[in-house]
Amino acid sequence: MSQEQIGTELASVLSRLTKFRPRERVVSDWSDEHERWWLYSELLDDASVRELLLEAVQLEPDLSVASSVSMDMVARPDESPSRWIAALPGDSRQAELVAQRAGDLRVLLDVLAGQHVGPDEALGKWSDWLQRRVAEQCSDPELLRRLSAQANTSKVRRQAQDRARQLTGGRSGT
């Protein structure tokens, strides 16, 4: 992909974003997706450039790069996940994955806040990512016991079981 192929709009946004980068680095070819990713990743923590970064994601021709930025942004509590999902083509697998992660994060935050997960909820239908995070971070022994029975992988089942034991001082529950 040549410089012309990234488009004048994206080239303009990249030019504006370079003014905010924390480290000096000469980029001779913005058509290289690695160079664009480097710039985006340098600016992920800078709230003052979020709108410009969102514009870059909307214009980004490499969906893997665009979805990587969006995936990072939906995990931030000060961001609206819907706008980062909407920045990706709606019919793309990447948009679907970012939307799933945003949903997983909502569930994880609810679990960590102690909100009840109903007995009918099929924990085995949760994504592997969500199951791993719940097994690592949850402080509800009963939920961990359920996860130890329903998780998709033996590693997560074992991890949930070990964490439940740790939280109950080794007592097994029913």
Report the C-alpha gap between 153 and 158 in whole angstroms: 9
What value does the mean pLDDT take over residues 113-142?
93
Q: What percent of the chain has pLDDT over 70?
A: 95
State the sign of the Cα–Cα–Cα–Cα dihedral 53, 58, 60, 63.
Answer: positive
Residue 154 has pLDDT above 60, yes or no: yes
- Which of 22, 47, 44, 26 is CA-nearest to residue 35? 26
Residue 1 has pLDDT above 50, yes or no: no
Quote the pLDDT of residue 173.
55
What value does the mean pLDDT take over residues 162-171?
90
Residue 143 has pLDDT above 50, yes or no: yes
* Centroid of chain to Cα 29: 28
**Structural domain spans, the chain:** 1-88
Quote the pLDDT of residue 33.
94
The residue whose two tokens read 């995936």 is 71
Quote the pLDDT of residue 26.
72
Name the band, by pLDDT with cuts 50, 70 and 90, for residue 122: confident
Give the gyration radius of the chain's Cα atoms: 20
What value does the mean pLDDT take over residues 149-172?
92
For 30-68, the pLDDT digits (tens) are 899 999 999 999 999 999 999 999 999 999 999 999 999
Quote the pLDDT of residue 4.
62
For 5-38, the pLDDT digits (tens) are 789 999 999 999 999 987 777 777 889 999 999 9
What value does the mean pLDDT take over residues 90-118?
94
